[in-house]
Chain A
Amino acid sequence: AQSVTQLGSHVSVSEGALVLLRCNYSSSVPPYLFWYVQYPNQGLQLLLKYTTGATLVKGINGFEAEFKKSETSFHLTKPSAHMSDAAEYFCAVSDLTYNTDKLIFGTGTRLQVFP
């Protein structure tokens, strides 16, 4: 069965600093991987996804993630943090057991950005 582990429930960075949010997955088949962002009192917005092809995936708002099969990781990065990046970030893997779009989420990482 697929699962997702997000290391670090809270991450704090200064504005302009590198953002690194860690995600490791467990899957018995090639996974589909996603990063979603949730701003306070809002739903989830897709940042980026990996299905097949290029392992470095670029998303919205300057974020990118690299799929590393050997490390079973899909870490999210952004070269320079902005105050508006403060939010909760969720990594998810698609459960392919029934060939559906069921997502299995990690517990989330709250990103704080300090001026």
Chain B
Amino acid sequence: DAGVTQSPTHLIKTRGQQVTLRCSPKSGHDTVSWYQQALGQGPQFIFQYYEEEERQRGNFPDRFSGHQYPNYSSELNVNALLLGDSALYLCASSPDTSSGNTIYFGEGSWLTVV
């Protein structure tokens, strides 16, 4: 049973560009969340998707947007990239939106903005 898979694993972008990161949740999971982990910091919640809708959003600007597909896979899009967007982006999935469920994380996508 595959866990949470993310792509790409590493990428380098230039300031002002746009990036799309992809995530496939663990089998049986319908809720997908995205987190940003800056170097030396804990992960910060970006947003969560359930039934193809954004259910909750963290303190991130509108440059960060997402999408969830009918098969529960998800994308994170970041427009107008800034140097400060350089971070590890983690996708997490869980069975449903009930609290206390085990949340599984992917290996992450390392984004470097130059």
State the A residues within 8 Å of B (CB): 32, 34, 36, 42-46, 49, 51-52, 90, 92, 94-96, 98-108
Is there an interface contact between A45 and B105, defined as CB atoms closer than 8 Å?
yes
A104-B45, A108-B40 are known; give 16 further A-B pairs, CB within 8 A: A43-B105, A45-B105, A49-B102, A90-B42, A94-B100, A95-B45, A98-B56, A99-B97, A99-B99, A100-B31, A100-B55, A101-B31, A101-B92, A101-B99, A105-B42, A105-B44
Q: In the complex, A45→B70 CA distance in Å?
A: 27
Q: Tell me how many residue pairs across A and B have CB atoms closer than 8 Å.
A: 73
CA separation between A43 and B90, bound complex, in Å? 7
Of all chain B residues, the one with the shortest Cβ separation from A4 is: B42
* Contact between A102 and B56, CB atoms less than 8 A apart: yes
Contact B102 A46 (CB under 8 A): yes
Q: Out of A43, A96, A105, which one reaches B99, CB within 8 Å? A: A96
- A102 to chain B: closest residue by CB: B45
| Closest CB in chain A relative to B61 CB, distance in Å | 18
Q: Tell me the nearest residue of chain A to B41, going by C-beta.
A: A107
Are A44 and B100 in touch, CB under 8 angstroms? no
Residues of A within 8 A of B35 (CB): 103
Which residues of A are found within 8 Å of B107, using beta-carbon distances? 42-43
A103's partner among B4, B45, B55, B108 (CB-CB below 8 A) is B45
Chain A's closest residue to B3 (CB) is A43
B residues 66-114 in Cβ contact with A at 8 Å: 90, 92, 94, 97-108
Known: A100-B48, A101-B48. A51 touches B43 (CB 8 A): no
Interface check B24, CB cutoff 8 A: no
